[in-house]
């Protein structure tokens, strides 16, 4: 029994405790680190269709042998009482060709509002081949009460897009980004 009373195990227990607590703290941090890791992973692989590739004007040759249908889809979140739609529902483009399309948005409230458009692309693999030169999703959009306007998107498709993809959907969801409103939750206790 005396061997249990020597400081050996006592010190050792402390160090096990210490090491385990360190592991816990590291893993707690890892939970948060998954946020940037996930984003980096998505950008790397282009999955999830959410990366906004800002392209420069320099551009490869157009590939006139291929035609890709680009569809435009507009959604708005439950908290944003706006009208929001693409001017045309789809266009046919050659890879490499620069096109401009517009989306129409109309603030139906009689107060100024700020909207933020979140892009999403289907199929996800196509996301990294859609290059945007100009997009209303790059910035928050300020609308006066009742204001309506057209907002442009200028883009081209990287000619390296895999041959299996013939249709690509560019979707925007407009969220309320007005400073005084809460974005999620606090509606009714709909979940309860």
Partner 1 sequence: MICMRMRGVMESTLVAAAMTGAGIGSAHAGLRYNMPEGVSEISRSVYSLHMAMFWVCVAIGALVFGAMIYSIVRFRKSAGAQPANFHENTAIELIWTAIPFAILVIMTIPAAGLLIKMDDTSQSDMTIKITGYQWKWHYDYLDQDVSFFSALAQDSNAARQLGAQIDLKSVDHYLLNVDHPVVVPVGKKIRFLITSNDVIHSWWVSDLAVKKDAIPGFINEFWTRIDVPGIYRGQCAELCGRDHGFMPIVVEAKTPEDYAAWLDAQHAAKAQQTAMVNGAALAAAR
Partner 2 sequence: MSEQVLGHDEHDHGPDPQFLRRWITTTNHKDLGALYLWFSLLMFLVGGAMALVIRAELFQPGMQLVRPEFFNQMTTMHALVMIFGGVMPAFVGLSNWLLPVMLGAPDMALPRLNNWGFWILPFAFTLLISTLFMPGGAPAGGWTMYPPLVLQTGLAFPFLIFSVHLLGVSSIMGGINVIATILNLRAPGMTLMKMPLFAWSWLITAFLIIAVMPVLAGAVTMLLMDKYFGTSFFNAAGGGDPVLFQHVFWFFGHPEVYILILPAFGIVSHIIPTFSRKPLFGHASMVYAMSAIAFLSFIVWAHHMFTVGLPLAAELFFMFATMLIAVPTGVKVFNWTATMWRGSLSFETPMLFALGFVFMFTIGGFSGLMLAMAPADFQYQDTYFVVAHFHYVLVPGAVYSIMAAVYFWLPKWTGHMYDERLGKLHFWLSTIGVNLTFFPMHFSGLAGMPRRIPDYALQFTTFNQISSVGAFMFGFSQLLFVYIVIKCVRGGEKATAQVWEGAEGLEWTLPSPPPYHSFTIPPLVT
d(CA 159, CA 150): 28
The partner in contact with residue 65, picked from partner 1, partner 2, none with C-beta cut-offs of 5 to 8 angstroms by kind, is none
Kindly tell me which of 12 and 92 has the beta carbon lying closer to partner 2: 12
Work out the angle at residue 130's Cα, subtended by the Cα atoms of residues 124 and 132, and round it to the nearest 5 degrees.
Answer: 130
For 26, the token pair is 């590291």
Instruction: Establish if 71 lies at the interface with partner 1 (CB under 8 A).
Output: yes
Kindly tell me which of 32 and 57 has the beta carbon lying closer to partner 2: 32
Pairing outcome for strands 167-176 and 68-76: parallel
The partner in contact with residue 16, picked from partner 2, partner 1, none with C-beta cut-offs of 5 to 8 angstroms by kind, is partner 2
Site for partner 1 in 161-180 (CB under 8 A): 164-167, 169, 171, 173, 175
What secondary structure letter does DSSP report for 38?
H
Contact residues for 168 (Cβ-Cβ < 8 A; gap 6+): 68, 69, 70, 71, 121, 122, 123, 126, 130, 157
d(CA 14, CA 20): 10
Kindly tell me which of 71 and 98 has the beta carbon lying closer to partner 1: 71
| Under 8 Å between Cβ of 44 and 122 | no
Least distance from C-beta 94 to partner 1, angstroms? 17
Of 28-36, 70-78, 94-102, 153-161, the segment contacting partner 1 by CB under 8 A is 70-78
The partner in contact with residue 185, picked from partner 1, partner 2, none with C-beta cut-offs of 5 to 8 angstroms by kind, is partner 2
d(CA 36, CA 34): 6
d(CA 48, CA 28): 25
Contact set with partner 1 (CB under 8 A): 48-50, 71, 73, 75-78, 89-90, 118, 120-123, 164-167, 169, 171, 173, 175, 190-192
Contact set with partner 2 (CB under 8 A): 1, 3-5, 9-10, 12-14, 16-17, 20-21, 23-32, 34-35, 38, 45, 47-48, 50, 77, 116, 118, 124-125, 173, 175-177, 183-185, 187-192
């Amino acid at each position: 029994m005396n061997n249990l009373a020597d400081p050996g195990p006592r010190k050792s227990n402390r160090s096990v405790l210490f090491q385990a607590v360190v592991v816990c703290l590291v893993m707690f941090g890892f939970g948060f680190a998954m946020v940037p890791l996930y984003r980096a992973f998505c950008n790397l692989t282009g999955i999830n269709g959410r990366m906004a590739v800002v392209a420069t004007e320099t551009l490869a040759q157009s590939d006139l042998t291929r035609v890709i249908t680009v569809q435009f889809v507009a959604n708005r979140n439950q908290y944003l009482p706006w009208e929001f739609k693409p001017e045309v529902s789809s266009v046919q483009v050659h890879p490499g060709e620069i096109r401009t399309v517009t989306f129409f948005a109309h603030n139906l409230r009689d107060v100024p509002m700020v909207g933020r458009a979140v892009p999403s692309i289907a199929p996800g693999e196509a996301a990294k081949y859609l290059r945007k030169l100009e997009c209303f999703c790059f910035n928050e959009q300020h609308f006066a009460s009742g204001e309506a306007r057209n907002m442009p998107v200028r883009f081209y498709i990287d000619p390296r897009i895999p041959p299996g993809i013939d249709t690509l959907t560019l979707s925007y969801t407009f969220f309320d980004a007005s400073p005084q409103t809460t974005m999620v939750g606090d509606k009714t206790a709909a979940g309860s």
